[in-house]
């Protein structure tokens, strides 16, 4: 039986294997982004999303990128400070903000994207066209399934990284002081 279908060890979990792939394939991109351009991977994702989408609200950007609003806001602030994003009031509603690339942000995207795409080309070069098409379809199906599971599983607990998951672990009653 395939190990992915019935994992018995950590290394057989889909998310573990995907995270290892993400880390390994992302390492040259992180070095490129941080070493040559002074931006983080999260900042790159914001820049590239805005380059493709256009100006939008920070909340809509966080939702599209599947990030929490606080992290998105901090990354937006850092990019505004670097002169790569502009944050301004939405036309007709001064209470809501909108973020957009500055000309420097657009230039950065136009410079970096071909380099990131070239790394992507090298990564998938080990697959033939049929394998790549199949992988694309499989990733789409797995993503759809993950989104469905996200809406249906473990609905009685909310993640709170600031509180630390280990704080919720309780000692058995006979060990308490």
| 33: number of Cβ within 10 Å | 22
User: Domain residues for 20?
Assistant: 10-152
Which residue from 53, 99, 56 is spatially nearest to 76, judged by alpha carbons? Answer: 99
The mean per-residue pLDDT over the stretch 82-110 comes to: 91
Q: Structural domain tally of the chain? A: 1
CA atoms within 13 A on the CB side of 102: 12
Mean pLDDT of 73-90: 93
Is this prediction's pTM over 0.85?
no
Residue 158 domain-assigned (yes or no): no
The answer to whether position 36 is within a domain reads: yes
Instruction: Establish if 38 belongs to a structural domain.
Output: yes
Q: What are phi and psi of 32, to 5 degrees?
A: -60, -50
44 or 161, which is more confident? Answer: 44
pLDDT > 70? residue 100:
yes
CATH of the domain at 94: 1.10.10.10
In this prediction, residues 24-50 reach a mean pLDDT of 96
Percent share of the chain, pLDDT over 70: 88
Residue 1 lies in a domain: no
For range 96-111, the mean pLDDT = 96
Q: What's the mean pLDDT when you consider all of the chain?
A: 89
Q: Which residues pair with 85 in a beta bridge?
A: 101
The sign one gets for the Cα dihedral 106, 110, 111, 116 is: positive
Given this model, what pLDDT does residue 129 score? 97
* Strand runs labelled E in 63-162: 85-90, 93-101
Closest listed residue to residue 98, CA positions, set 41, 142, 58: 58
Distance, in Å, from the CA atom of 128 to the CA atom of 72, rounded to the nearest integer, reads 37
Is 3 domain-assigned? no
**Confidence band, pLDDT 50/70/90 cuts, at residue 95:** confident
For residue 105, name the pLDDT band (cuts at 50, 70, 90): very high
Mean pLDDT in residue range 90-105 = 87
- The mean per-residue pLDDT over the stretch 57-73 comes to 90
Asked if residue 177 is part of any domain, the answer here is no
Confidence at residue 21, expressed as pLDDT on a 0 to 100 scale: 96
Q: Is residue 20 in a domain?
A: yes
Task: Quote the pLDDT of residue 170.
Answer: 56
Q: Determine, yes or no, domain membership for 91.
A: yes
pLDDT band at 169 (very low <50, low <70, confident <90, very high): low
pLDDT tier, 132 (very low <50, low <70, confident <90, very high otherwise)? very high
Judged by average pLDDT, the poorest of 32-41, 87-96, 120-129, 166-175 is 166-175
């Amino acid at each position: 039986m395939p190990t992915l279908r019935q994992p018995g060890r950590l290394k057989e979990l889909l998310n573990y294997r995907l995270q290892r792939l993400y880390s390994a394939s992302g390492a040259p991109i992180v070095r490129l982004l941080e070493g040559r351009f002074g931006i983080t991977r999260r900042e790159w994702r914001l820049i590239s999303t805005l380059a493709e989408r256009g100006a939008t609200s920070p909340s809509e950007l966080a939702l599209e990128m599947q990030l929490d609003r606080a992290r998105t806001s901090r990354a937006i602030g850092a990019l505004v400070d670097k002169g790569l994003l502009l944050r301004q009031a939405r036309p007709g509603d001064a209470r809501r903000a909108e973020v957009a690339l500055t000309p420097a942000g657009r230039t950065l995207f136009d410079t970096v994207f071909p380099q990131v795409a070239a790394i992507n080309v090298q990564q998938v070069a080990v697959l033939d066209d049929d394998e790549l098409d199949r992988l694309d379809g499989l990733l789409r199906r797995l993503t759809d399934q993950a989104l469905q599971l996200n809406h249906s599983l473990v609905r009685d607990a909310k993640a709170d990284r600031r509180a630390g998951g280990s704080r919720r672990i309780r000692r058995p009653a006979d060990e308490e002081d």
